[in-house]
């Protein structure tokens, strides 16, 4: 029973990776462009959060791992469609990641300057948020296209795995003292 629970939690996490990280828009490239300046909404992800550390060579992941395909019992045609969605998303995202790099470098320079220029910081953060909005739209379109390739049975299995994963999330808040 315990092994089954571990398997289901792992499977759920893998599926979330498929739709979040596997979309290829996981902001992992932001880490290639320098350390994150800040976390939270609209900024580059911090380690352990959505996007997480880079996956594979170059920090990119062209699509979900094969074991996710097996969990949902995807056909070869579905696999090819999903991979094509992810490849297109990566190509569409490149221009935004390229524009984010100098912004991250400038934010980094602001943190190390002798004085802090709040106006410049706000301008850079606003520009970063515009680019991240575009990246999120590409990610969401890719997730939607991926989801709509699934059959009703596969969508039901995915919903079950997500529900199971949700029920096994660690609770938020302070940890009890030992």
DSSP 178: -
Residue 159 and residue 45: Cα distance in Å, rounded?
26
Q: Which residue has the higher pLDDT, 67 or 93?
A: 93
Burial of 125 (0-12, 13-18, 19+ CB in 10 A): middle
| pLDDT for position 6 | 47
Number of domains in the chain: 1
Mean pLDDT of the chain: 73
| pLDDT for position 105 | 97
Q: Which residue range is the domain that position 37 belongs to?
A: 2-167
Q: What is the pLDDT of residues 140-163, one digit of tens each?
A: 999 999 999 999 999 999 898 888
For residue 158, being part of any structural domain is answered with: yes
Give the residue among 28, 114, 15 at the shortest CA–CA distance from 65. 15
Residue 166 and residue 143: Cα distance in Å, rounded?
19
- The answer to whether residues 150 and 64 touch, using CB atoms and an 8 Å cutoff, is no
For residue 83, being part of any structural domain is answered with: yes
């Amino acid at each position: 029973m315990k092994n089954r629970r571990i398997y289901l939690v792992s499977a759920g996490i893998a599926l979330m990776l498929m739709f979040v990280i596997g979309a290829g828009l996981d902001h992992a490239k932001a880490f290639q462009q320098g350390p994150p300046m800040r976390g939270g909404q609209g900024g580059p992800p911090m380690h352990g959060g959505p996007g997480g550390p880079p996956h594979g060579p170059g920090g990119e992941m062209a699509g979900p791992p094969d074991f996710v395909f097996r969990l949902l019992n995807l056909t070869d045609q579905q696999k090819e469609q999903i991979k094509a969605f992810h490849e297109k998303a990566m190509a569409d995202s490149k221009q935004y990641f390229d524009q984010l790099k100098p912004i991250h470098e400038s934010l980094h320079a602001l943190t190390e300057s002798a004085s802090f220029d709040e106006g410049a910081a706000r301008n850079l953060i606003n520009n970063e948020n515009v680019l991240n909005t575009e990246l999120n739209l590409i990610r969401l379109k890719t997730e939607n296209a991926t989801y709509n390739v699934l059959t009703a049975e596969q969508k039901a299995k995915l919903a079950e795995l997500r529900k199971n994963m949700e029920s096994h999330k660690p609770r938020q808040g302070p940890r009890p003292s030992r």
